[in-house]
């Protein structure tokens, strides 16, 4: 048996961050990961997705270039070349993570781990390891629906293995993965149909964002079908067909992509042997310090079901290491103000509460909304005129800003700075007293009346 101060089960972003912060405090750390280092985000998530989004943004820029005086001739897009470059970049990141672990003296076990007791795990080779502290950071995986023919479709993981761009693709789902991949595929030339069970996309976001993004998707040529609950999928002579419970059918697709949510990777961990309790669907319950039901065992990231954001997993892991090994007893991640971006077309940046959530959380306080919409100056010379939408949600007589929501060009970059302001407790008057930078889209957030 090998003994350590900390065992980290999972080598994704959260697990890597926890291990590296703990070793800075002198802890002896072992990390288990049977697959590529970096987890979902690096290999089949944020990083390769952003590469694809960049390509899609370039396609849009080429369309606008003639309006700025450029004589542009655009040939066909080489999907295989893009895929090769993207995959090579990800492989370089895998290598960097491995070298960093070695440099910091972290023992990396390229195998899965399973609990055999409260303080003990065994890897797939039968070797046992012991530690007073164990962190579970195994992440999640894309879900698949249970209906006839569902296997004819793939998930976002499969998307990154596609050798060529499909001519016609149908996407099931209305969350951020669905809208992001729909936008990429449409911009690069595919005919795209999206079907969702509800009335709008991004139901967990402020209603304004979902409504306006759906308008933008349709304007770009994406067909969006609402209240469409799939009943069966079939392979026909003309391609893949999806039938809804109300009888509607969409047909003749080259690819079907499911983006209906994710499930935690906890089934093979042997949690019962360590007394670790799980909630419905296998998520591990934790308190604000990431403690599970068993002392000395913690969980971070997607396995907890708190929020599926890579930076949140990283922050939770680092704070956990600060507390357990750095002597910072009250260190923990607050999940109240988490900024996030949807790399849709156009992108969305958001931090804090939606208007509806603010009214529900503060029923006895005044909630005031400030909103603006305009055409970004980038489109001053172009034929298309997409609008940028912004909303501030304030609470109380002093108008504390509890929500900031942006959809439009550069929203992904704008929101980071305003997240700092909200985290510091900014009031609307603080926004009003901030000098505007002109001409920018961001200045609208400090000039709203």
Query: What number is the average pLDDT over the span 291-308?
Result: 97
pLDDT tens readout for residues 64-86: 999 999 999 988 999 999 999 99
Q: Which CATH number, 3.30.390.10, 3.30.160.110, 3.50.50.60, 3.40.30.120, labels domain 2-142+263-326?
A: 3.50.50.60
The greatest distance separating any two alpha carbons of the chain, rounded to the nearest whole angstrom, comes to: 69
Task: Look up residue 266 and give its two tokens.
Answer: 């906890």
pLDDT tens readout for residues 368-405: 999 999 999 999 999 999 999 999 999 999 999 999 99
Task: Look up residue 294 and give its two tokens.
Answer: 């068993």
Q: Is 150-258 in the same CATH topology as 2-142+263-326?
A: yes
137: helix, coil or strand? coil
Query: What number is the average pLDDT over the span 189-193?
Result: 98
Beta bridge partners of 255: 169
CATH class of the 150-258 domain in this structure: alpha beta
User: How does strand 249-253 pair with strand 239-244?
Assistant: antiparallel
Q: Can you say whether the dihedral through the CA atoms of 270, 275, 278, 281 is positive or negative?
A: positive
Does 156 have pLDDT greater than 90?
yes
Q: Considering only CA atoms, which of 428, 416, 429 is closest in space to residue 350?
A: 416
Spell out the domain ranges in the chain: 2-142+263-326, 150-258, 346-446
> What phi and psi values does residue 358 have, to the nearest 5 degrees?
-65, -40
Please name the helix (run of DSSP H) or strand (run of DSSP E) that holds residue 5, with its range, or none.
strand 2-9
Q: Can you say whether the dihedral through the CA atoms of 299, 302, 306, 310 is positive or negative?
A: positive
> What phi and psi values does residue 248 have, to the nearest 5 degrees?
-65, 150
Whether 438 sits among the annotated catalytic residues: the reply is yes
Q: How far apart are CA 316 and CA 314, in angstroms?
A: 6
Task: Look up residue 300 and give its two tokens.
Answer: 């971070």
Q: How far apart are CA 316 and CA 378, in angstroms?
A: 38
Asked if 6 and 133 touch (Cβ cutoff 8 Å), the reply is: yes
pLDDT tens readout for residues 227-238: 999 999 999 999
Query: What number is the average pLDDT over the span 47-54?
Result: 98
At 32, the pLDDT band (50, 70, 90 cuts) reads: very high
Residue with the two structure tokens 């992108």: 347
Mean pLDDT of the chain: 97
Quick one: fold of 346-446?
Enolase-like; domain 1 (3.30.390)
Report the Cα–Cα distance between both ends of the chain, in Å, rounded: 66
Asked if 188 and 51 touch (Cβ cutoff 8 Å), the reply is: no
Asked if 6 and 32 touch (Cβ cutoff 8 Å), the reply is: no
Asked if 6 and 27 touch (Cβ cutoff 8 Å), the reply is: yes
Asked if 244 and 195 touch (Cβ cutoff 8 Å), the reply is: yes
Asked if 13 and 312 touch (Cβ cutoff 8 Å), the reply is: no
Burial 396-421 (b: 16+ CB within 10 A, else e): eeebbbbbbbbbbbbbbebbeebbeb
Angle between helix axes 310-326 and 13-24 (nearest 10 degrees) is 20
At 1, the pLDDT band (50, 70, 90 cuts) reads: confident
What's the pLDDT score for residue 336? 87
Positions of E strands within 118-163: 120-123, 128-136, 140-142
Q: What angle do CA 318, 44, 214 make, to 5 degrees?
A: 100
Q: What is the dihedral of CA 146, 151, 155, 161, to 10 degrees?
A: 170
């Amino acid at each position: 048996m090998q003994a350590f101060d900390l065992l980290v089960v999972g080598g994704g972003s959260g697990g890597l961050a926890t291990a590296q912060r703990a070793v800075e405090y002198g802890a002896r750390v072992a990390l288990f990961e049977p697959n590529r280092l970096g987890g979902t985000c690096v290999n089949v998530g944020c990083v390769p997705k952003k590469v694809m989004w960049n390509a899609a943004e370039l396609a849009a820029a080429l369309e606008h270039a003639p309006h700025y005086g450029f004589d542009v001739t655009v040939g066909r897009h080489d999907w295989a070349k893009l895929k090769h470059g993207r995959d090579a970049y990800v492989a370089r990141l895998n290598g960097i993570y491995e070298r960093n672990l070695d440099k910091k003296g972290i023992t990396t076990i390229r195998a899965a781990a399973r609990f055999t007791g409260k303080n003990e795990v065994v890897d797939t080779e039968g070797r046992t390891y012991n530690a007073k502290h164990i962190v579970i950071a195994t992440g999640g995986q894309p879900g698949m629906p249970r209906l006839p023919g569902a296997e004819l479709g793939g998930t976002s993981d499969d998307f990154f293995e596609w050798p060529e761009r499909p001519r016609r693709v149908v996407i099931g789902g209305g969350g951020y993965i669905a809208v992001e991949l729909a936008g990429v595929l449409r911009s690069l030339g595919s005919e795209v149909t999206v079907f969702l069970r509800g009335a709008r996309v991004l139901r967990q976001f402020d209603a304004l964002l979902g409504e306006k993004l759906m308008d933008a998707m349709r304007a770009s040529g994406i067909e969006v079908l609402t209240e469409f609950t799939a009943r069966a999928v079939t392979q026909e002579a003309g391609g893949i067909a999806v039938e809804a419970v109300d009888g509607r059918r969409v047909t003749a697709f080259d690819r079907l992509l499911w983006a209906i949510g994710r499930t935690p990777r906890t089934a093979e961990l042997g949690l019962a042997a360590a007394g670790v309790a799980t909630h419905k669907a296998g998520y591990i319950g934790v308190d604000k310090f990431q403690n599970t039901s068993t002392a000395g065992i913690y969980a971070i990231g997607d396995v907890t079901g708190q929020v599926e954001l890579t930076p949140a997993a990283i922050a939770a892991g680092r704070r956990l290491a600060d507390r357990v090994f750095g002597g910072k007893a009250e260190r923990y991640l607050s999940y109240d103000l988490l900024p996030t971006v949807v790399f849709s077309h156009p992108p969305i940046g958001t931090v804090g509460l939606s208007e509806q959530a603010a009214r529900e959380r503060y029923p006895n306080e005044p909630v005031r909304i400030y909103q603006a919409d305009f055409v970004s100056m980038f489109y001053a010379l172009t034929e298309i005129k997409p609008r940028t939408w912004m909303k501030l949600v304030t609470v109380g007589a002093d108008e504390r800003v509890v929500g900031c929501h942006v959809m439009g060009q550069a929203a992904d970059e704008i929101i980071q700075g305003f997240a700092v302001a909200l985290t510091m407790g900014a009031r609307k008057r603080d926004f009003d007293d901030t000098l505007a930078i002109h001409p920018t889209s961001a200045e609208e957030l400090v000039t709203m009346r």
